[in-house]
Structure 1
Amino acid sequence: MNNLTPERRKGRKYDQVLEGARQAFLQDGFDGAGVDDIARNAGVSKATLYSYFPDKRLLFIEIARLECKRQGDEAKSIMPQNLPVRDMLSFIATRMVSFFNSSLSLSIFRLCVAEAERFPDLAQEFYRNGPLMAQTKLGAYLREATERGELNVEHPEFAANQFAELCKAGIFARLAFGVDKRISPQESSFVAAEAVEMFLARYGVTQD
């Protein structure tokens, strides 16, 4: 993403500014997080903040880039091993619903869509480290589970996309269009559980 923004100077409070901004964006999203909020979270003056990032959008792009990397690293490291299929799908569904319900993730998604032509590298990195990585990892799991006789999935990558869409059902459009700011824990759990049930109804294997 070298062509995304010009090289910026980094000083001793650079990481401090990034962490303060991440907290603000995570809590309130791009539009809701003000410069005063970011400076207060970071424990710096607005002058110091502007010395690193003269525009809030540039700061958000840097946070989005780092968040994409963090999500990719996390996805590689936290997948549990040797869970029964239902438990594994429940774990994945809960993670997906939580991701869709995150104000920071939604803000990154909106910015990527709005600025895809102006900042194509940001949109592509978000896709690679978000939807594509999730599809690839889930597709690989579905293929392995089918080979073990635990599922019956003929097209793993397509089925992985279906599962992701089930985890969005009834909530993502409301969040993306700002109809709701957050989905309750109860509804999130319901959506995740129903995604698993629907998926297993199509691809599950009946045990004799």
Structure 2
Amino acid sequence: MTQAATILRTGRKFDQVLRGAREVFMADGFEGASVDEIARVAGVSKATLYSYFPDKRLLFMEVAQTECTLMSEKIMSMIDESLPVRDVLMLTAVQVITFLTSEFAQQVFRICVAERDRFPELGRAFYAAGPENGRERISEYLEKAVESGELKIDNIPMAAEQFSELCKVKLWTRAVFGIQNQFTAAEIRDVAGHTVDMFLARYGA
């Protein structure tokens, strides 16, 4: 049975379940999150929760996918293609770095790594909703920038991957290893600026 066939994504209680699950997963991780606690925090019965999500893994994947989709939609809504390519890339980098260093993204990353062997589908789902979806959205913009002559790129998917990896410099690594868990707007913009400078040094037309 596929995830799409299992989940009915309608109704006020569906949103309540997602909000409750997000809160519990962030506090207790995947293994520590109990269905009873998720139902309590969401303010629904266990029967209602199971009517939407018969498997806790499906619920976790839905939470991760929903958050990643919201982040992607936010970035795309902010992009003004009439702006200079540097401005668009800077805006994108700031948003990507902000998400990567967020408590949510860090906790989901830890859960996916910790559960990789037992539940590899968790990591696959997060990868598809996060890194893979992000690469596709960035690729779409890069293609237009190449067509307009603002960038010169032979391998757009690879360039999109490189842009995403440059966004991980310094702050993401510090977050992953628990060296730092709060990041200022100035720190994020500094990394974003260096990301864009290096990217344009390689691909600027």
TM-score in same-fold range (> 0.5): yes
Q: Distance in 2 between matches of 1:12 and 1:176?
A: 35
Structure 2: which amino acid aligns with 1:108?
Answer: V
Distance 2:21 2:195 in 1: 33
Give the 3 Å change call, closer, same or farther, for CA 58–128 of structure 1 in structure 2.
Answer: closer
Find the counterpart in structure 1 of residue 91 from structure 2.
91
**CA 1:117–1:14 in structure 2 vs 1: closer, same or farther (change >3 Å)?**
same
Q: Deviations over 1:67-92 (max 9, x none)?
A: 34444555565543322101110111
Q: Deviations over 1:147-192 (max 9, x none)?
A: 2221122221111111111111111111112222222222111111
TM-score under structure 1 length normalisation: 0.72
Which residue of 1 is the match for residue 139 of structure 2? 139
- Equivalent residue letter for 1:171: L
2:101 corresponds to:
101
Partner secondary structure for residue 138 of structure 2: helix
> 2:192 aligned with 1:203, yes or no?
no
Counterpart position of 1:161: 161
- SS of the residue aligned with 2:117? coil
Q: Which has the larger share of helix?
A: 2
Superposition deviation, residue 137 in structure 1? 2.1
Segments of structure 1 that go 5 or more residues without pairing to the other structure are none
| Structure 2 match to 1:30 | 29
Which whole-Å CA distance do the structure 2 matches of 1:7 and 1:159 have between them? 35
- Output one character per residue of 1:38-82: Cα deviation in whole Å (capped at 9) or x when no partner: 78865x49xx579848x9888645422433444455556554332
Letter in 1 for 2:122: L
Q: Which amino acid aligns with 1:107?
A: Q
Contact in 1 for aligned 2:57/2:122 (Cα 8 Å): no
* C-alpha spacing 1:65/1:164, structure 2 compared with 1 (3 Å): closer
CA RMSD of aligned residues (A): 3.7
The match for 2:124 is: 124
Structure 2: gaps spanning 5 or more residues: none
Say if 1:139 and 1:183 are closer, same or farther in 2 by CA, change over 3 A: same
**Is the contact made by 2:64 and 2:129 (CA closer than 8 Å) also made in structure 1?**
no
- CA deviation after TM superposition for structure 1 residue 23, in Å: 4.7
CA 1:134 to 1:60, structure 2 compared with 1: closer, same or farther past 3 Å? closer
* Corresponding residue SS for 1:180: coil
- % identical equivalent positions: 41
> Where in structure 1 do 4 or more consecutive aligned residues deviate above 6 Å?
37-41, 55-58
In the comparison of the two structures, how many residue pairs are matched?
198
Q: Secondary structure at the match of 1:149?
A: coil
Change (3 A) 1:100 1:203: same
